[in-house]
């Protein structure tokens, strides 16, 4: 256990940030899952709309440092590539 005031404060801050970050990751995964389900259903318009909503969430997570920017860019790219490959 921390014995200094600054260390105790650090523990509180870390716990608070962890909760926020976990919530952001969960939110991002939910949006990605909606895109995946739309792709599975075969509805291209619905998938494009879902990706349009998911992309800002994904990039926000990257900008906040929760996941690496290149990782999110790659995932967005792969999702959009899958949607482009769908029959119109």
Alpha-carbon distance of 74 to 62, in angstroms, equals: 11
- Is residue 88 pLDDT above 80, yes or no? no
CATH architecture, domain 5-84: Up-down Bundle (1.20)
What was the pLDDT predicted at 76? Answer: 97
pLDDT digit string (tens) for 29-74?
999 999 999 999 999 999 999 999 999 999 999 999 999 999 999 9
What was the pLDDT predicted at 87? Answer: 86
Helix (H) / strand (E) containing 52: helix 44-63
Alpha-carbon distance of 14 to 75, in angstroms, equals: 28
User: Is 80:50 a contact under the CB 8 Å cutoff?
Assistant: no
Q: Domain map of the chain by residue range?
A: 5-84
């Amino acid at each position: 256990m921390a014995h200094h005031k600054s260390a105790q404060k650090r523990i509180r801050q870390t716990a608070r940030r962890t909760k926020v970050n976990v919530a952001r990751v969960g939110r991002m995964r939910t949006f990605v899952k909606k895109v995946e389900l739309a792709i599975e259903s075969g509805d291209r318009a619905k998938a494009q709309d879902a990706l349009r909503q998911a992309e800002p969430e994904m990039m926000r997570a990257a900008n906040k440092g929760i996941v690496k920017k290149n990782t999110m860019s790659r995932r967005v790219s792969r999702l959009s590539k899958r949607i482009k490959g769908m029959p119109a």
